[in-house]
């Protein structure tokens, strides 16, 4: 959206009319809105409130100093210095343009009294404490203003002004505000989804609760003369199950990827559990397979707990498989379960 910046130009008036014309021309060529003494050339206490209001509404502030200090206001400063001090007080970006060699100026445009000269000199010193440039002629001043203001706008972008027809109307503004609030609500919901289980999950089995998994396996002898199928069951906690499956779903995983690790988990348990069982002497236990219904129950339970969700990634028409991925909350739970915690060392240990 195209912006125009309002620039307050402060200076004494009669002695700097030509200089101010150059400055105004330079500002207009930069598509800026000049404001200043032309609006209220006879400054007094009644107009001081108006002057401050115009400075408040301006984006940038320029002060031009030459040979005159200006008429004195109620605070003992000239109105020009009062404007400068107010602009710096309210934090406006300011640039001072100080005449390079005031001793070369004609006497009729310079302060006549020692007091006026001292006040002007103090003001020159004050203006040089901020961004400041020196000028020698009205045309030089105009070019100095153009270059300096472009740099200031880049380094300290201001609010600026835009055409009214480019600003959203009241109805559009209300709709934008409504959408903004909705975005904030959704962002908060996403944030909570990463750390909190979904509503209703408190009533479901989870964590250290145990789930009975039914499975089949085969007992095979060395010569394959015996190949019998057996059934059994095992209790695993939901944390054990999710601990095993969750890393596979960091991106996504299909059923064909998730079933084998469950079978392996069952096999590791069973090989140890049935060790020494006389029923299986001389037999090799193999081909462990989780009950299909129990596998489906596991998937449904993890979905209900808000740990996994069905992947919505686009696939080819030929791919009819179902794929699962971790939810933000599931990723948080997985990290809590699998991240290695730092061990406390009670004393020095030595590896052998």
CATH topology of domain 202-338: Arc Repressor Mutant, subunit A (1.10.10)
Which residue carries 């962002």 as its tokens? Answer: 187
pLDDT of residue 342: 78
d(C-alpha 325, C-alpha 310), whole Å: 6
Pick the CATH number of 6-166 from 3.50.50.60, 3.40.50.10140, 3.40.50.970, 1.10.10.10: 3.40.50.10140
Average pLDDT over residues 16-20: 92
**pLDDT interval class at 352 (50, 70, 90):** very low
- Separation CA 269–CA 234 (nearest Å): 8
Map out the domains of the chain as residue ranges.
6-166, 202-338
- State the greatest distance between any 2 C-alpha atoms of the chain, in Å, as a whole number: 125
User: How many CB atoms within 10 Å of residue 221?
Assistant: 14
Element (H, E) at 323: strand 323-326
pLDDT at 166: 67
**Confidence band, pLDDT 50/70/90 cuts, at residue 69:** very high
| β-sheet with 308-310: strand ranges across | 253-254, 323-326, 308-310
Instruction: State yes or no: pLDDT of 267 exceeds 90.
Output: yes
Tens of pLDDT, residue by residue over 42-57, are 555 578 888 899 999 9
pLDDT at 305 > cutoff 80: yes
199-239 pLDDT, tens digit per residue, is 888 899 999 999 999 999 999 987 767 788 999 999 999 99
How high is the mean pLDDT of the chain?
A: 88
pLDDT digits (tens, 9 = 90+) for 70-98: 888 888 899 999 999 999 999 999 999 99
Q: CA of 35: how far to CAs of 13, 24, 41, 143, 194, in Å?
A: 13, 9, 12, 18, 53
pLDDT tens, 154-179? 999 998 888 777 666 667 667 777 88
């Amino acid at each position: 959206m195209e912006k125009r910046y309002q620039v307050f130009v402060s200076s004494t008036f009669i002695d700097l009319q030509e200089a101010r014309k150059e400055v105004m021309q330079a500002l207009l060529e930069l598509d800026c809105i000049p404001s200043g003494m032309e609006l209220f050339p006879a400054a007094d206490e009644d107009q001081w409130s108006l002057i401050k209001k115009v400075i408040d509404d301006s984006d940038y502030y320029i002060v031009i100093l030459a040979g005159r200090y200006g008429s004195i206001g109620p605070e003992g400063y000239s109105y020009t210095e009062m404007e400068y001090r107010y602009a710096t007080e309210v934090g406006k970006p300011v640039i001072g343009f100080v005449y390079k060699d005031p001793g070369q100026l004609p006497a009729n445009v310079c302060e006549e009294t020692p007091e006026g000269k001292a006040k002007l000199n103090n003001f020159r010193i004050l203006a040089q404490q901020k961004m400041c440039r020196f000028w020698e002629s009205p045309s030089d001043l105009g070019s100095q203003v153009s270059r300096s203001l472009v740099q200031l706008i880049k380094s300290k972008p201001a609010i600026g002004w835009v055409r009214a027809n480019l600003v959203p109307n009241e109805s559009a503004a209300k709709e934008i505000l409504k959408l903004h609030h909705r975005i904030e609500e959704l962002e908060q919901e996403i944030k909570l989804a990463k750390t909190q289980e979904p509503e209703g999950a408190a009533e479901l089995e989870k964590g250290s609760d145990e789930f009975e998994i039914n499975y089949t396996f085969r007992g095979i002898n060395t010569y394959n003369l015996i190949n019998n199928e057996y059934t059994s069951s095992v209790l695993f906690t939901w944390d054990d199950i999710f601990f095993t499956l969750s890393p596979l779903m960091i991106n996504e995983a299909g059923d064909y990827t998730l079933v084998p690790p469950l079978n392996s988990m069952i096999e590791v348990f069973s090989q140890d559990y049935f060790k020494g069982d006389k029923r299986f002497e001389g037999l090799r236990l193999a081909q462990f397979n989780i009950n299909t219904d129990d596998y489906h129950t596991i998937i449904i339970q993890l979905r209900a707990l808000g740990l996994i969700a069905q992947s919505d990634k686009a696939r080819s028409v030929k791919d009819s498989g179902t794929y699962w991925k971790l939810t933000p909350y599931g990723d948080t739970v997985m990290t809590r379960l699998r991240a290695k915690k730092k061990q406390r060392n009670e004393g020095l240990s030595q590896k052998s």
